[in-house]
Every structure is written in C-alpha cells, then in structure tokens.
Amino acid sequence: MSEALKTKLQTLFQERCLQDDAGVLPYESDGLTAFRSRPLVVVLPETQEEIIEVVKLCYRYDVPFVARGSGTSLSGGSMPIEGGVVIALNRMNRILHYDAAERIAVVEPGVINLYVTKKAVPDGLYYAPDPSSGPVCTIGGNVAFNSGGAHCLKYGMTSNHVLGLKVVLPNGDVADLGGESLEMVGPDLTGMFCGSEGLFGVALEVTLRLLPKPEVFKTILAAYHSLADAGQAVADVVASGLLPGAMEIMDRLAMDAAEAAVKAGYPAEAQGLLIVELEGPGEEVEAEFPKLMQVIEASGAYEIRVAKNEAERMKIWKGRKGAFSAVGRLSPDYVVQDGVVPRTKLGEALREIEKLSKTYGLRVANVFHAGDGNLHPLILYNGKLEGEFERAEELAGEILKLCVDLGGAVTGEHGIGVEKLAYLPYMYSDDDMDLMRFLRIAVDDKEIANRGKMLPSNKAPALTMHGAHPIEKQGIAFRE
C-alpha cells in the first residue's frame, strides 16, 4: 500500500516529492530534536487542490500524514510519522485577502506569523499573537497548537484571533468553519480545530482578526534578589486591577544566557527579573503607569528601569524573546516544558522546581509568561552522557505533575505532541480521555491525521459513531 502511494505521489509532485536521504533528513524532527522519525515521503504542495489530493490518497491507502510548517514545535507535534507522509506547507505562503477596513486577513497556512503584522502595519493594524518564534513559525502551526506569546495575558491565544477556517478533513472532505464575523453562530468548531494538533485535518485558509496597533507602550524592567519575589510581584500587579499587555519573568540562568547571546544589559546581581508592559491609548496608559510603578516599588524590586524609547524597549524584549535559543550557549542540549499553574502558586511552583533541580542534579533555567502562570522551565543536560537525557525527561515529567497538582495544566501553548502523551491522563479523567478520543475518531475514523500525537491511538468502542459523518449535523458547510 505504501509503495503504491509513493508511486502516485511521485507522479503527482515529481521533483517536489522528496524521498532520498538528503531530502528527507531535515524533516525527521522538529524543535524537539531528541525525537526523530523517518517518513515515507515529503511532499511540497503549492495549491489547495494538491493538499486535498494528498489527503485523499492517504485516506484511500490508509497511510498516516502530518502537515508541517516551519517545524518549530517543541513537543514533537510536527515530527513525521514513521512510514507516513509529510505535507510540507512552506510554499503555501500567500496572503489571499486583506481588508484594513474590516480588520481581517485571509492567509494560507504557510504564511509566517510576523509577516501578517508587516502587511498590516501601514494601516495602523497588527496581528496580536506573538510567540517567540514569530519571525519563523507559520500561521498553520499556530492554529494547530493554539500558540500564545508574551502578550497573551491581555489578548489571548491564537483561537481568540481566528475567525474562520477552510480545512480539509482526514477523509478528503473540505469544510468551512466560522467566517469573517466576530459573532459566532452554532458550536465553536473553529475553536475546537485550534489546538487540535493536526488531528482534525489540515487548514487550507485561515481568516485572522487584526487589531489597531497600540498607541503607546510603557515597558518596565524590575530586578529582584529572589525569583519568588518577582513571582509575588506578578500577583500584586494583577490584584491591583491592572491588566498589562505582558508580564514576563526570567531567572538568573536565563539572564546569563540572554547576556551571552544578545547583550541585553540585564542587572548583573538579579536573581529574578520581571518585565511588565502597558500598552493602549495614550491617556489610558498614562493613567495606569503611576499605579503600576507604585505596585512595583512596593514589591521589593531593588532596581527599576523604564524604557525611554523604542530602542530601549526592543533591547529589553530582545533578551526575553531570544532566551530559548540563547540557552544553547550554556548547555549542549535542553528540554523545555510549558506547564501552567495558577498565578497565586507561582512562588510555590518555582521553589519546588528548584528542589527538583537539585534532586536530579540538572540545572533548570526559568523563563515564563508570568501573567497567566505559563512556566517555561528549560532543563539543561548533555545528551552525550549516558542516562542524562532520560534523567532530564524524568525531571520534566515531575514538573508537569507538579503543575497539575497545584491546580494547573500540562501545557499552555506548546501542545502535547509525543513528549507529553503519558501526562495527559494524569490531568484528565478516563471519561474525559474517552470523550476526546470519541471526537477524534468521529472526525478521523482511520486515525491517519498526525497519528500518535496528542492522544494515544486506541479507540473507545462504546463511543465510536457509525453512519453519516457526525459533524454534518452541526451545520458545517462542506465542499465537493
């Protein structure tokens, strides 16, 4: 079956069907490079019709597929399926429709996140979700993992900015979800598709909501003698009633990495660094700024800096945005997690992570979206030392369990992928897991879309639906 499919894809795509070692190797892993898998082939479609044809062929031959953008997933979510097909969407990179008056952009899945804002800036607009990988990650990948970014505290995740989707389902049917309006009719199928990690098919077009660019920014950097004090400051800011655009925290190890990489100029003695940014209309920001300063001054910060201009603001953010890659200067390998805890439990979570770090004998650099409690512990290890990777993965698992035990979640924006498969049942009950499997199988009865990711590939027989496609009853517009 696989060989027959390979022959058909080779005929269809010719030089855009990659099969040899040199062509396939770059696709064997994503941002989680510790995990690798070799696909049957990699195809490079340039039209929606080609994507649809590939999906139909995979369904016919019962061969799994994964759609992939820039491969920046940090959970193995865009890693190939052994013997499956990779649908590489980088050439699907056109902005199909842009309407400044309606504040929308309709884009193909391979469009780079930052390019949407570049298109909209001349009209005073921008696209709010800003993951650290924004200059390289794709909108299709953002949709698959419901990406957030530093400013998700105020503006939410990708799902809050996707109005509509045109998708090809795993059986080759094409469906329209949502539309161009903020007013939703019926069940939120667009929201269900966002964050589904490719289990429901492939996005062909994404209708994005654009926002007016903030008139004014006020960016504050506060240095603390302890990481716990920085975490408490976040709770104090939220308790004051303020809603900053972003609140980010870095520990000493993360600051050292950022200094080595980009010379951000962070305070040399700080053990915890808090970045808070107000943004919005000038009068609103000017009214909120004194209140924010009062809270920060009372929080125990020993040094406070306010960016005087855009250059100083960007220098502050450059260190934070580049922290993940900068950690590579401190360690040959690292694992990053993104568990979530309630803001009130930040201090406790950080103290426990420090204890776990000592227990396992591995350094942990902490960088996180403090405003919504989304931790990003980076566990440093040397993969050349026997057993050290396994120890790092075990430590990562303990941190995820800690987040759940504190009332949080195992992921905020990186997704489950392959790395966290064992921990989703720790967070959800058997009934919850059965419901998720039911939805997956209802849309993809052969489980060929990104098989083996997010949910274990075992069906819940009592919930399996037969007969007509179950979501046809929900008012989805299907296309031939």
Share of the chain above pLDDT 90, in %: 76
The reply to whether 208 and 221 lie within a common domain is no
The reply to whether 269 and 315 lie within a common domain is yes
Confidence of residue 340 (pLDDT cuts 50, 70, 90): very high
The reply to whether 109 and 131 lie within a common domain is yes
* Domain boundary, last residue among 270, 297, 325: 325
* Domain boundary, last residue among 325, 356, 381: 325
pLDDT tens-digit readout, 243-278: 999 999 999 999 998 888 888 889 999 999 999 999
pLDDT tens-digit readout, 116-162: 999 999 999 999 999 989 999 999 999 999 999 888 889 999 999 99
Q: Rounded CA gap, 457 and 463, in Å?
A: 14
Q: For 435-455, give the secondary structure using H, E and C.
A: HHHHHHHHHCCCCCECCCCCC
* CATH code, 45: 3.30.43.10
The reply to whether 352 and 404 lie within a common domain is yes
- pLDDT for the residue 451: 94
- pLDDT for the residue 223: 97
Please name the residue that has the structure tokens 């060989």.
3
Kindly state the average pLDDT of the residues 51-74. Answer: 96
Kindly state the average pLDDT of the residues 151-179. Answer: 95
* CATH code, 405: 3.30.70.2740
The reply to whether 33 and 77 lie within a common domain is yes
Confidence of residue 458 (pLDDT cuts 50, 70, 90): low
- pLDDT for the residue 344: 84
pLDDT tens-digit readout, 375-412: 999 999 999 999 999 999 999 999 999 999 999 999 99
> Could you tell me which of 145, 19, 33 has the C-alpha nearest to residue 86?
19
* Domain boundary, last residue among 281, 300, 325: 325
More confident site: 93 or 149: 93
Kindly state the average pLDDT of the residues 344-372. Answer: 91
The reply to whether 222 and 206 lie within a common domain is no
User: In which domain, by residue range, is 73 found?
Assistant: 2-88
Confidence of residue 1 (pLDDT cuts 50, 70, 90): low
**Burial letters 350-373, b for 16+ CB under 10 A, else e:** bebbeebbeebebbbbbbbbbbbb
pTM: 0.90
The reply to whether 61 and 29 lie within a common domain is yes
Statement: residue 418 has pLDDT above 50 = yes
The reply to whether 101 and 202 lie within a common domain is yes
The reply to whether 359 and 280 lie within a common domain is no
Give 138's DSSP letter. B
Q: Rounded CA gap, 412 and 338, in Å?
A: 6
Give the tokens for residue 276. 């808070």
**Burial letters 428-445, b for 16+ CB under 10 A, else e:** beeeebbebbbbbbebbb
Statement: residue 472 has pLDDT above 90 = no
Give the tokens for residue 480. 């031939």
The reply to whether 223 and 316 lie within a common domain is yes
Confidence of residue 346 (pLDDT cuts 50, 70, 90): confident
- pLDDT for the residue 446: 95
The domain total for the chain is 5
- pLDDT for the residue 423: 93
* CATH code, 281: 3.30.70.2190
The reply to whether 414 and 336 lie within a common domain is yes
Kindly state the average pLDDT of the residues 304-324. Answer: 90
Compute how many other C-beta atoms are within 10 angstroms of the C-beta atom of residue 259: 16
The reply to whether 343 and 364 lie within a common domain is yes
Q: Rounded CA gap, 462 and 440, in Å?
A: 14
